[in-house]
């Protein structure tokens, strides 16, 4: 049996290696347009920033190493230009010579990935405007930065590649500005959580501008100018375009394969396309979101690898199916770690879920052990079923561990109340006896049971200040004096029992503290005394970060 694979990297290279492990006698040909068949795509920005110094470290496998270990015929700098599914042939163009030839197949895997979206704006052909997808792109940007020594860089788009490029260029000494069309960076985060990322970038000297529309580019020998829709002009020495990706499926479209969202290839759970003996994997295909059960686009290496394994299994006669993805991700932003899984609260509501979220700020490990750092967690769940819908964490060490636990819970169908029952490893340097994931479960259990009612950062300004409700800040007088939300009176939690006569029992009481713990204790005291009490979700620290102190 002969399998031709169009495209390498995560999907194609993984499928090729898996087929060989399952069938020693299979004939396997990989057609790759670039000069590199298997490389660390996610590591490319770190080579530009000299964090990874040896370019060979980016290459996971070469055509030669594939040949030696797996006896796979890898043809780089070869472009598949047409697929004849009726006669089972792929027309291949040798890029160096320009000559074409036909390659027949028994099974075909399309792993053409996604390409950077280039907006239809004037001036995008300027040589100082870059996008990043391949190793060749990386070398091009690396050479430009080191030979031209630019001083000012503008990154357009606040996704993973954009933020990693911004960090690496800043560390190289460039003045960096990030422009984002929406109101916050990182669409895998809600606005409130993304504000923590904004603050971190600004603290590192990066300018972050949201709600900005780019109208085009103009350039001369001196610099390139980004034209904004408010008639402002922003000068720079280089621009990184990172405004998203789109499935690269022109080949599949011309071959008559069924396409779906943004022309992504439609596949079943065996990774089979609408045409017999043709499979597709990776960023070129639409996937099932495991939370909603609906088709979506998820451009991540993990799902691509899993899909490639499924396709290879089925080609080799092994029953295998791809269950979908919860889009788990993690990124390093300087010394900060940002991770997410599942749906944001905004997306969950848009999908029709009646949902709620808890926000907590636990320490990365036991507070009495040196080096503990605060992480901010947001866990979203469906109210009536307690179905876990998603989670977001902004922190430092330990962030990836917690998001993986939450992703596992979602994948296995655990409900939110089960988080409190998870038996997680504990030692002071690594966690607390009540792990942050357990704490999220305790909080959700309190809300679902009705023991706790909460209010959120976006409702604080809407609370009446006419005396019809009572607003209380239960932090210490020193904390309160430094900064507090408008209209909140200071009644420290340790004094609240002695000062109940100052709190009108006929009015709802809204309570805030620094992190949410003391306000929870205060609410339990007040509820026990018959008050209608609401605890602030996330604490004043979170409120101040989201609102900028306003």
Residues serving a catalytic function are 42
- The DSSP code sequence of 107-136 is EEEE---EEE-----TTTT-TTEE---SHH
What beta strand segments (E) does 396-503 contain? 454-455, 470-473, 489-490
Q: Are 10 and 41 in contact (CB under 8 A)?
A: yes
Residue 70's H or E segment, with its range, is helix 63-70
Choose among 53, 39, 48: nearest CA to 155: 48
Q: What is the rounded CA–CA span in Å between residue 454 and residue 3? A: 57
Q: What is the rounded CA–CA span in Å between residue 334 and residue 273? A: 41
The residue whose two tokens read 């340097």 is 429
Q: What is the rounded CA–CA span in Å between residue 525 and residue 531? A: 9
Q: What is the rounded CA–CA span in Å between residue 412 and residue 361? A: 25
The residue whose two tokens read 């979506």 is 296
- Classified as helix, coil or strand, 245 is strand
Choose among 199, 435, 186: nearest CA to 330: 186
Give 464's contacts (C-beta < 8 A, 6+ positions apart): none
Q: Are strands 89-94 and 78-84 parallel, antiparallel or unpaired?
A: antiparallel
Whether the CA torsion 355, 360, 366, 371 is positive or negative: it is positive
Q: Is 293 left (phi over 0), alpha (psi -120 to 50) or beta?
A: left
Q: Are strands 89-94 and 100-104 parallel, antiparallel or unpaired?
A: antiparallel
Q: What is the rounded CA–CA span in Å between residue 550 and residue 547? A: 5
- Classified as helix, coil or strand, 6 is strand
Q: What does the chain come to in residues?
A: 550
The residue whose two tokens read 């399998």 is 3
Residue 548: both structure tokens together: 């900028």
User: Distance between terminal CA atoms of the chain?
Assistant: 67
Long-range own/partner contacts, residues 399-405 (CB < 8 A, 24 or more apart): 399/330, 399/337, 399/338, 399/339, 399/364, 399/375, 400/330, 400/337, 400/339, 402/339, 402/375, 402/377, 402/435, 402/436, 402/437, 403/328, 403/330, 403/339, 403/340, 403/341, 404/328, 405/437
């Amino acid at each position: 049996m002969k399998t031709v694979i169009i495209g390498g990297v995560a999907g194609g290279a993984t499928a090729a290696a898996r087929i060989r492990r399952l069938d020693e006698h299979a004939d396997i040909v990989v057609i790759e347009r670039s000069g590199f068949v298997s490389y660390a795509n996610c590591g490319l920005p770190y080579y530009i920033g000299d964090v990874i110094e040896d370019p060979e470290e980016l290459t996971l496998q070469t055509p030669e190493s594939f040949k030696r270990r797996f006896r796979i015929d890898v043809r780089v700098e070869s472009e598949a230009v047409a697929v004849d599914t009726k006669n089972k042939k792929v027309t291949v163009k040798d890029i160096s010579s320009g000559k074409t030839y036909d390659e027949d197949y028994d099974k075909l895997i399309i792993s053409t990935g996604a390409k950077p979206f280039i907006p239809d704006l004037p001036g995008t052909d300027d040589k100082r405007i870059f996008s990043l997808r391949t190793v060749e792109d990386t070398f091009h940007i690396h050479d430009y930065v080191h030979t031209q020594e630019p001083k000012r860089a503008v990154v357009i788009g606040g996704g993973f590649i954009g933020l990693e490029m911004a960090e690496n260029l800043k560390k190289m000494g460039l003045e960096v500005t990030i422009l984002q069309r929406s109101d916050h960076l990182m669409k895998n985060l809600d606005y409130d959580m993304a504000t923590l990322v904004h603050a971190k970038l600004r603290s590192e000297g990066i300018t972050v501008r949201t709600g900005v529309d780019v109208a085009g580019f103009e350039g001369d020998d001196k610099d390139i100018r980004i034209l904004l829709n408010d008639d402002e002009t922003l000068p720079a020495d280089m621009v990184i375009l990172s405004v998203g990706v789109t499935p690269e499926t022109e080949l599949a479209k011309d071959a008559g394969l069924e396409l779906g969202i943004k022309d992504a290839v439609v596949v079943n759970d065996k990774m089979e396309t609408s045409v017999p003996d043709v499979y597709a994997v990776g960023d070129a295909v639409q996937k099932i979101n495991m939370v909603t059960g609906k088709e979506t686009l998820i451009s991540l290496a993990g799902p691509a690898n899993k899909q490639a394994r499924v396709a290879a299994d089925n080609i080799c006669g092994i029953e295998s199916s791809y269950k979908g993805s919860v889009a788990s991700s993690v990124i390093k932003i300087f010394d900060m770690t940002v991770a997410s899984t599942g749906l944001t609260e905004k997306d969950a509501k848009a999908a029709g879920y009646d949902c709620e979220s808890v926000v907590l700020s636990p320490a990365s490990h036991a507070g009495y052990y040196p080096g503990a750092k605060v992480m901010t967690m947001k866990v979203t769940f469906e109210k009536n079923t307690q179905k876990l819908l998603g989670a977001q964490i902004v922190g430092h060490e330990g962030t990836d561990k917690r998001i993986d636990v939450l992703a596992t819970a979602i994948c296995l169908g655990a409900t939110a109340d089960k988080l409190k029952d998870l038996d997680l490893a504990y030692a002071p340097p690594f966690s607390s006896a009540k792990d942050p994931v357990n704490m999220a479960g305790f909080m959700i259990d309190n809300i679902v049971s009705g023991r706790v009612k909460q209010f959120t950062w976006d409702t604080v300004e809407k609370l009446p200040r006419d005396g019809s409700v009572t607003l209380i800040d239960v932090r210490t007088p020193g904390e309160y004096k430094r900064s507090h939300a408008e209209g909140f009176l200071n009644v420290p939690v340790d004094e609240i029992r002695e000062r109940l006569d100052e709190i009108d029992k006929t009015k709802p009481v809204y309570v805030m503290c620094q992190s949410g713990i003391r306000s929870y204790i205060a609410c339990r005291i007040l509820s026990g005394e018959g008050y209608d009490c609401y605890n602030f979700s996330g604490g004043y620290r979170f409120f101040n970060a989201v609102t900028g102190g306003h």
